[in-house]
Amino acid sequence: MLTARNGNLCAVADTLHLSADPVDLTAALVDVPSVSGDEAELADLVERSLREQAPHLEVVRSGNSVLARTNLGRAERVVFAGHLDTVPINDNMPSRREGDVLHGCGTVDMKGGDAVMLHLAATLREPRHDLTFVFYDCEEIEASRNGLGRVERDLPEWLRGGLAIVCEPSDGVVEAGCQGTIRVEVRTTGRRAHTARGWMGENAVHAMGEVLRRLQAHETRVVEIDGCTYREGLQAVKITGGVAGNVVPDECVLTVNHRFAPDRSPAEAEAHLREVFAGFDLVVTDFAAGALPGLSAPVAKELVAATGGTPVGKLGWTDVARFAALGIPAVNFGPGDPTLAHTQQENVPVSQITGCVDVLRRFLA
């Protein structure tokens, strides 16, 4: 099939070869652009391939999300989740293989993980637990459009299970739970005046000095839960103030992002910030709860055993928190270095893709 894309004609596969090499499958997924909001073509391809090549699965479509599951009557069910969308392409398409490394937009975040899921969906015909696979849209943009949220509202039974595995990049190790995040604006106010008569005013930018001093003096917590270490963070991410080159500023706004370990709720995190910045005006602009690692669940222990390694705490926020909020233990487990996500030079060692397949096959076969 030939389609016009960005003014060029390029070949797009009619189908994906789900049972063949998961590295080739990753490359094929990368080569179908799917920037958030524009996932229809890739969702069509995923749906068609699953219906054709995995007749043992029940497949449904919800918007640009594709859901598939076994119905084997097993005592336990494991839910896999992977988003189909990517951040905007940045001169890093199509995919390019150099030796043992695959380069391109989405190789890390997270078409490598999608390929692992699709390969297992097609090839694990008799898994020891029932399996659900959720390929969803719009993860990289505002939370209100997140496809997993839509599935949660419209098809809630599709998210139920004893363990959720979000195949976001985790360098091929189990990253358990996730930290919460809260952003606040700290505001100082003053009084405008001409700088030629500066003493008639009150400088709001100068007043912010004390807030920055407290930030620098702040000691972040390091928390251990279920053997996983969570290291909190408190960082100024933006500062603005100023009226004109000859005016004493009457307002300065500092945005602070606090990452907090999952033993604290967003309300507790806010209370902590109000303590740190006592005496200053503080407004919460957004937050997301963290997720406890949940590694005490037997099925989670089986997964950890299959990896043969030690789980670590997830520091970034991911959709595992949605599962945690539903009472489902959830971990991140996928190929790729998460620090390369959203960068132009995204790339994944192909051994991590096949390594993740091997671990999960060992866990589920």
Q: Which span sits near its own copies by CB under 8 A: 142-150, 301-309, 314-322, 353-361?
A: 314-322
Using CB under 8 A as the binding rule, whether residue 298 contacts its own copies is answered as no
Q: Is 114 among the residues known to form the active site? A: no
> Which is it for strands 281-288 and 180-189: parallel, antiparallel or unpaired?
antiparallel
Instruction: Using the minimum distance from each CB to its own copies, give the nearer residue, 146 or 179.
Output: 179
| Phi, psi for residue 10 in degrees, rounded to 5 | -140, 155
If one counts every other C-beta atom within 10 angstroms of the C-beta of residue 260, the result is 27
Using CB under 8 A as the binding rule, whether residue 197 contacts its own copies is answered as yes
The nearest distance, CB 113 to its own copies, in angstroms, is: 18
Q: Is 139 among the residues known to form the active site? A: yes
Using CB under 8 A as the binding rule, whether residue 283 contacts its own copies is answered as no
Which of 3, 71, 229, 246 lies at the binding interface for its own copies (CB under 8 A)?
246
The nearest distance, CB 168 to its own copies, in angstroms, is: 12
Using CB under 8 A as the binding rule, whether residue 55 contacts its own copies is answered as no
Separation of alpha carbons 303 and 168, rounded Å: 16
Closest C-alpha among 346, 339, 344, 285 to residue 316: 339
Q: Which span sits near its own copies by CB under 8 A: 134-142, 157-165, 205-213, 348-356?
A: 205-213
Q: Which residues contact 295 (CB under 8 A, 6 or more apart)?
A: 176, 226, 227, 228, 301, 304, 311, 329, 331
The active-site residue, picked from 47, 85, 109, 114, is 85
Using CB under 8 A as the binding rule, whether residue 259 contacts its own copies is answered as yes
Distance (Å) of CA 224 to CA 207, 261, 300:
37, 9, 18
Distance (Å) of CA 189 to CA 207, 209, 285:
8, 13, 18
R_g of the chain computed on alpha carbons: 23
Residue span 144-183 as binding mask against its own copies, x where in contact by CB under 8 A, dash where not: -----------------------------------x-x-x
Maximum separation of any 2 CA atoms in the chain, in Å: 80
DSSP state of 88: P
Q: Which span sits near its own copies by CB under 8 A: 63-71, 144-152, 251-259, 323-331?
A: 251-259
Using CB under 8 A as the binding rule, whether residue 221 contacts its own copies is answered as no
* Cβ-contact 64, 40 below 8 angstroms: yes
The nearest distance, CB 229 to its own copies, in angstroms, is: 13
Using CB under 8 A as the binding rule, whether residue 235 contacts its own copies is answered as yes
| Phi, psi for residue 260 in degrees, rounded to 5 | -125, 145
The active-site residue, picked from 31, 109, 139, 175, is 139
Task: Give contact residues for its own copies (rule: CB under 8 A).
Answer: 179, 181, 183, 194-199, 201, 203, 205-206, 208-209, 212-213, 215-216, 231, 233-249, 252, 254-255, 257, 259, 315-317, 339
List, by residue number, the catalytic residues: 85, 139
